[in-house]
Amino acid sequence: MRSNIVTESGLPTRLGQWWESIPFLTSAIVIVCGSIYLACLFVGYDSFSEICFLPSAVISHFQLYRIFTSVVFHGSLLHVFFNMLALVPLGSELERIMGSVRLMHVIVILATSNALFHLFIALLIAHNPFRPYEYLMNECAIGFSGVLFSMIVMETSLSGVQSRSVFGLFNVPAKWYAWILLVVFQLLMKNVSLLGHLCGILSGFAYTYGLFNYILPGSSFYSTIESSSLLSTCVRRPKLILCTGGNLSGYIPTHTSPNTSPSSLSGNLWRNLSSWIPGRETTTVQSAQDSRFPGRGRTLLSSDNQAPSALSSDSSLQARLLDPNHLLETTVNSTANQIPDGRYLSKLN
């Protein structure tokens, strides 16, 4: 009689299952960045000053291509490895929430806004009337970590957690998580672009506060793209996630409805900003009426003025996410335990 033998799957099988669990766009970015680094390694290309984000070159020669080439190129094997290792949980989580096409559009917006913030701050510091500092104009920033810092801010806002662990050593408040990482990487690693990471954080907060709402189309726009014949081959792939899929958390409230006025947008922005300021905790009394049971409902062992939480009174997760007047919150458990490596930074003579 044969004994029951329990065998575990081998490493190739586990790697295959792990790779198949990564959504379409996230896996595509990993392939593109990895392939570009390997191609540069094989041909011996290391002229990063030609493709990195160099503010002086963007201003003097109008080399706008650097906005995107600086994102997909990396300076070392560890650089691309840790960036892609951090991208997998972050990108997978956001892609499942937003959809593949929409996340691609958001990444392009984040990369562009990172470059604009970078350029503005470098010019401001280099030409300030008190003490001009030309060094930042000649910094060569390269790598995907600027976008990753933006995604960290977005994912932290969506998760709704109160604290985050830094390398498993200590916990910090979630709203300070990205800032703590910025300081930690700057202290522990060299050749790290402080300005590149800082601009990524600023872009992430700009997105979560709704500052990009005027340039973000509605879900119907992404649905039209997904139904086009050009993407028919990609749409048939099981790893591609549609923006209009059946996932209840498939939307992030960043699109402003046509009836929303700029004044209401600024009011929402002020409420988001004020939520980060410590204040006295208050509760909101919400009463629900039912025609079958008239009168005020009461809870056993509770006082008359005890109020339920505003979050629990929402009808569903989808209703919270579809309402642009609420702060971005959802009960998504973050798997972003790996933190991106810093951008490559070099000095030009």
Provide the annotated active-site residues. 145, 197
Q: Where are the beta strands (DSSP E) in the chain?
A: 139-142, 163-166, 170-173, 344-347
Two tokens, residue 135: 């060094």
Q: Is the dihedral of CA 326, 211, 246, 90 positive or negative?
A: negative
HSE on the CB side for 328, CA within 13 Å?
27
Whether the CB-CB separation of 306 and 299 falls below 8 Å is answered with yes
Interacting residues of 304 by C-beta distance below 8 A, sequence separation 6+: 298
Which secondary-structure segment (H or E) carries 200? helix 194-208
Interacting residues of 230 by C-beta distance below 8 A, sequence separation 6+: none
Q: Which residue has the tokens 């059946």?
A: 246
Two tokens, residue 175: 């709203």
Whether the CB-CB separation of 343 and 84 falls below 8 Å is answered with no
Q: d(Cα 327, Cα 332) in Å, to the nearest integer? A: 15
Torsion on CA atoms 57, 60, 62, 67, rounded to nearest 10: 30
